[in-house]
Amino acid sequence: MIDGIIKYSFDFKLSKPLDEIDFFDIEFTRERLFALGLIGVTKNGVGYGNISRRVNRDSFVITGTQTGHLKNLNATHYSLVEEYNDKDFYLKSIGAIEPSSEALTHGTIYNLSEDIGAVIHIHSKALWRFMLSNNYLKTNRVEYGSIEMIDEVNRIFKNIEPLSNSKFVMAGHEEGIMTFGKTLGQAELVLFNILGSFLKKLNS
């Protein structure tokens, strides 16, 4: 399954587009990941990949739903999640577009630690296979955007300081990988380190 359907119970209020200050840094990271095909669109026209950055304790900015096919995004393509509660499977957002269908998974990651400032979700069959067959953290075969996915994220980080191992592969969400960090730059670097390990293996 690829991110096409919004599965959580949500409250979305259509509002004016966000201010550029809220997302311009996400846009720089997104351009690089789009260039690598880690964010993009499938042959069937379904967009994949999403990025978020924490705004304050309880809110974060995230790319809008079905924006993967766009090389560049503007203010109308970002959504502000104002409230989220992964126990009640609830999320409240505003913006000119609804948030990515994986927004609540991002929220669950932010709930792991207040020091987490950014989350990246990409798709790559090659990296997905690489992570599954090597020793990376992985969620069991549960669907994206589901309550089970929230439980899985909490389970795998139960006894791990999340920022010490800030990446995992989603076994039940083909091609899906998540990384995170204190900053957006850190989350991106974690992803590039996986890519680096993969290329090293490929080239050896």
List contacts with Zn ion (CB under 5 A).
3, 176
User: SS3 for 97?
Assistant: coil
In the complex with Zn ion, the residue whose CB is nearer, 58 or 125, is: 125
Which residues face 99 on adjacent strands? 64
Identity of the residue, 61 or 169, whose beta carbon is nearer to Zn ion in the bound complex: 169
Cβ 175 to Zn ion shortest distance, Å: 7
Please, what is the minimum distance in Å from the beta carbon of residue 122 to Zn ion?
8
Q: Find all residues with CB under 8 Å of 14, minimum gap 6, and list them.
A: 94, 95, 96
Least spacing, CB of residue 75 vs Zn ion, in Å: 23
At a CB cut-off of 8 Å and minimum separation 6, what does 144 contact?
1, 3, 101, 102, 105, 170, 172, 173, 176
Q: Residue 105 is which amino acid? A: T
**Structure tokens of 175?**
């091609």
> Quick one: 107 or 176, whose CB is closer to Zn ion?
176
Nearer to Zn ion, 3 or 152 (CB): 3
> How far apart (Å, rounded) are the C-alpha atoms in residues 177 and 139?
10
Asked if 58 and 83 touch (Cβ cutoff 8 Å), the reply is yes
Q: Which is nearer to Zn ion, 64 or 176 (CB)?
A: 176
CB-nearest residue to Zn ion: 176
CB of 176 to Zn ion, least distance (A): 4
* Residue 173 C-beta: closest distance to Zn ion, Å: 6
